[in-house]
Chain A
Amino acid sequence: MLTYTLKRLLATLPVLFVVSVAIFLIIHITPGSPAATILGMEATSAQIEAFNEEMGYNRPLIEQYTSWVSGIVQGDFGDSLFMNQTVLGAVSQHIGPTLSLALLSQLIAIVLAIPLGILAAHKRGTILDTMLMSFSLFGMAVPNFLLALILMLILGVNLGWLPVAGYAPLSSGLINHLTTLLLPALSLGAIQAALITRMTRSAMLDVLSLHYMRAARSKGLKERTLLIKHAFRNAFLPILTVIGQTFGTLVTGAVVIETIFNIPGLGQLIINSIVRRDYVVIQGVVLIVTLIYLFINLVIDLLYGVVDPRVRLDRKE
């Protein structure tokens, strides 16, 4: 298991490299020089010169890249061009709401989707299965901002059960925190839930048709044992992969949902930074989100090893 863990860790390094280069180049592939874009049309050449000097944009690219990376390794993501703040400061200020939102939507999605997916597979071909599948198709088709507006209208405005917008941090109490997040999390989690339901169903069906399921049934096991112990644990790995891969969609969705519900999360930070062309912040946020994404997928890879003995096998070849 230790070798496996190390191998997985090493495997993320090339990915990190490619991603960091891509993010680094954001500034340089946008048309015009960074200075011109940031300072605007009216900037004099002296101003541009001074700006480039200050930011180091006149140095060779390789040199800029290495100094950027070495800064990051030491925890220095640079300073915002417009806010009187470091990138890391701005991110840490905004990351809490986004993480809460993402985790809660993911949780809602998983708790809802996995049992429904198992049920659909178990009752395949029945009306229940067809209903669940049409429902999940619907869930995937409705854009999350539309769902957000509908939920807002029904649960927030008409019934008045939940606050329509705003955000209460965890420090203001768990209940408060959750009630403000519930609507956004539902809107954001719906697509995720639909996706995981379908994935669970198809992964379960794949496993249910395998030979060892018939062999297990021939032992006289209860249907529940067959479904959960034998089928689900095997189907869990592909489901887990989908959960990891769709984390990216979740963050993208969060940007939209945060704007609609006026939640001061990373989404707002990113949108504001894009409007202000604050490239340094954009770079930092994108890089941090990528790091989180890689981390989640690393954890999932390690879980593979925990669940499946064939994966953690340290083959000596």
Chain B
Amino acid sequence: MTLLKVEQLHTHIHTNKGRVSPVRGVSFSIEKGEVTGVVGESGSGKSVMSQSLIRLLDREGNIEYNGQIHFDNKDVLALSEAELRKLRGNDISIIFQDALSSLNPLYTVGNQIVEAIRTHQSLSKKTARKQAIEFLRLTGIPSPETRFNSYPHELSGGMQQRVMIAMALVSKPKLLIADEPTTALDVTIQAQILDLIIQLNTEFEMSILFITHDLGVVREICSSVKVMYLGQIVEEGPTETIFNQPLHPYTKLLLASMPKLNSDRTEPLPAITGTVPSLSNIPKGCSFSTRCPYATDLCREQEPPMFSNDGQRVQCWLYDEEKGGWLD
């Protein structure tokens, strides 16, 4: 069953320096219970895209959307402010990268979790408190009753992230957006948090949109993956296919730059040459053409359409059969 269907989503932000479009025509869907990975270099629009799903930036500036977002029979782009509030934190929750800066420093973590609970359920303070402690326990926080009264700065990074996860789960959301939830943590804690997220995925049948720079993590936990570049999904498909048979030159380069466990550590990792163009200066034609080793005149002139092959979709002229282009 399809939980989320996004079609040709564009997010435009009007700033005083003009309009930028961090998301430029993204289409995908997420099935119930599916764990989907989103990868791409910094600035490729992963956060803006995922936050657009609950229109989180609406109040922070002059934002304009085009396209369609359908979530659970709701037309998200047509929802009123009040209906959006019911969606946020209730049907769709987000865990952010930096847990400490995502928690209000002046309130105890208990206060903030209870607030999340009572926003969406009419429960007494006492019941909500009990629930909050249960969720803290669920995320593996030792002595949750004491931790309930701690302030964010009194907890370690791993504990703070667990608090954020507990807070995101209180309404048993249908979709959990995890925006680089482990980047700020050290490796052992990272593994624990990942285990926790996966355990929750099976336990609550929650779909997960997992944003990360770490392709290893994607391979470990995601059943499908989307590769973003400059506000577009340039390739997507089942994780195994993408890892074994990447099509887009950008995906190939991303995979090649991934450190391998048994590789010779003395050899430097190949990096993608050049830098991501700025949003105010998006290349004509294929947006990757300025850095692509295979770019042709066509690539620099005309934007490639999506080509699909067996559940794998790629936006690259190399796969246009009419123009005779399959790369060997």
List the interface of chain A (C-beta within 8 A of B). 208-212, 214-223, 225, 230, 233-234, 307-310, 313
Q: What would 13 A/B residue contacts be, using CB atoms closer than 8 Å?
A: A209-B60, A211-B96, A211-B101, A212-B104, A214-B56, A214-B57, A218-B89, A218-B93, A220-B84, A220-B85, A221-B89, A308-B106, A309-B106
| Contact partner, A212, options B93, B103, B151, Cβ 8 Å | B103
Does B202 have its Cβ within 8 Å of any Cβ on chain A? Answer: no
A219 and B105 within 8 A (CB): no
A212-B104, A230-B104, A308-B105 given; A220·B56 CB < 8 A: no
Count of residues in B whose CB is under 8 Å from the partner chain: 32
A218-B94, A220-B86, A222-B85 given; A211·B102 CB < 8 A: yes
Q: How many A-B residue pairs have CB under 8 A?
A: 74
A310 and B153 within 8 A (CB): yes
B106 and A219 within 8 A (CB): no
Closest chain-B Cβ to A46's Cβ sits at a distance in Å of 69
B56 and A217 within 8 A (CB): yes
The 5 closest A-B pairs by CB, nearest first: A219-B89, A220-B89, A220-B88, A215-B102, A211-B101
Task: Across the interface, name the chain A residue whose C-beta is closest to B151.
Answer: A309
A211-B96, A309-B151, A310-B153 given; A218·B103 CB < 8 A: no
The stretch of B63-71, B114-122, B186-194 that contacts the partner chain: B114-122
Interface centre among A220, A223, A225, A234 (most CB of B within 10 A): A220
A211-B96, A211-B98, A214-B56 given; A219·B119 CB < 8 A: yes
Bound Cα distance from A212 to B85, whole angstroms: 17
Residues on the A chain within 8 Å of B106, using CB: 233-234, 307-309
Does B17 have its Cβ within 8 Å of any Cβ on chain A? Answer: no
| Contact partner, B56, options A218, A222, A225, A313, Cβ 8 Å | A218
Does B59 have its Cβ within 8 Å of any Cβ on chain A? Answer: yes
A220 and B103 within 8 A (CB): no
Does B39 have its Cβ within 8 Å of any Cβ on chain A? Answer: no
Does B136 have its Cβ within 8 Å of any Cβ on chain A? Answer: no
Task: Across the interface, name the chain B residue whose C-beta is closest to A231.
Answer: B104
Interface centre among A210, A218, A221, A308 (most CB of B within 10 A): A218
Interface centre among A219, A309, A310 (most CB of B within 10 A): A219
Residues on the B chain within 8 Å of A219, using CB: 88-89, 93, 115-116, 119, 167
A217 and B104 within 8 A (CB): no
Closest chain-B Cβ to A232's Cβ sits at a distance in Å of 10
Q: A211-B96, A220-B86, A309-B106 are in contact. List 12 more A-B contacts (CB 8 A).
A: A208-B60, A211-B102, A212-B104, A214-B51, A214-B56, A219-B88, A220-B89, A220-B120, A222-B119, A230-B104, A233-B106, A234-B104
Residues on the A chain within 8 Å of B102, using CB: 211-212, 215
Bound Cα distance from A157 to B309, whole angstroms: 87
Residues on the B chain within 8 Å of A215, using CB: 94, 96, 102-103, 164
Closest chain-B Cβ to A200's Cβ sits at a distance in Å of 17
Identify which of residues 134-192 in chain B touch chain A, using a CB-to-CB cut-off of 8 Å.
Answer: 151, 153, 164, 167
Residues on the B chain within 8 Å of A308, using CB: 105-106
B59 and A217 within 8 A (CB): yes
Bound Cα distance from A225 to B102, whole angstroms: 16
Interface centre among A208, A216, A233 (most CB of B within 10 A): A216
Does B247 have its Cβ within 8 Å of any Cβ on chain A? Answer: no
| Contact partner, A310, options B59, B151, B167, Cβ 8 Å | B151
Task: Across the interface, name the chain B residue whose C-beta is closest to A313.
Answer: B153
Task: Across the interface, name the chain A residue whose C-beta is closest to B153.
Answer: A310
Residues on the A chain within 8 Å of B153, using CB: 309-310, 313
Residues on the A chain within 8 Å of B56, using CB: 214, 217-218
Closest chain-A Cβ to B143's Cβ sits at a distance in Å of 19
Does B90 have its Cβ within 8 Å of any Cβ on chain A? Answer: yes
Residues on the A chain within 8 Å of B151, using CB: 309-310
Closest chain-B Cβ to A143's Cβ sits at a distance in Å of 34
Task: Across the interface, name the chain A residue whose C-beta is closest to B91.
Answer: A220
Residues on the B chain within 8 Å of A209, using CB: 60
Bound Cα distance from A308 to B105, whole angstroms: 8
Bound Cα distance from A214 to B54, whole angstroms: 12
Residues on the B chain within 8 Å of A208, using CB: 60
Residues on the A chain within 8 Å of B103, using CB: 212, 215
Closest chain-A Cβ to B190's Cβ sits at a distance in Å of 20
Task: Across the interface, name the chain A residue whose C-beta is closest to B101.
Answer: A211
Residues on the A chain within 8 Å of B98, using CB: 211
Residues on the A chain within 8 Å of B96, using CB: 211, 214-215
Residues on the B chain within 8 Å of A220, using CB: 84-90, 119-120
Residues on the B chain within 8 Å of A225, using CB: 115
Residues on the A chain within 8 Å of B51, using CB: 214, 218
A214-B60, A310-B153 given; A221·B104 CB < 8 A: no
A218-B56, A220-B120, A308-B106 given; A212·B101 CB < 8 A: yes
B88 and A216 within 8 A (CB): no
Residues on the A chain within 8 Å of B101, using CB: 210-212
Bound Cα distance from A231 to B66, whole angstroms: 31
Residues on the B chain within 8 Å of A218, using CB: 51, 54, 56, 88-89, 93-94
Residues on the B chain within 8 Å of A221, using CB: 85, 89, 115, 119
Residues on the A chain within 8 Å of B115, using CB: 219, 221, 225
B88 and A217 within 8 A (CB): yes
Task: Across the interface, name the chain B residue whose C-beta is closest to A217.
Answer: B56
Residues on the A chain within 8 Å of B88, using CB: 217-220
Task: Across the interface, name the chain A residue whose C-beta is closest to B106.
Answer: A233
Residues on the B chain within 8 Å of A217, using CB: 56, 59, 88
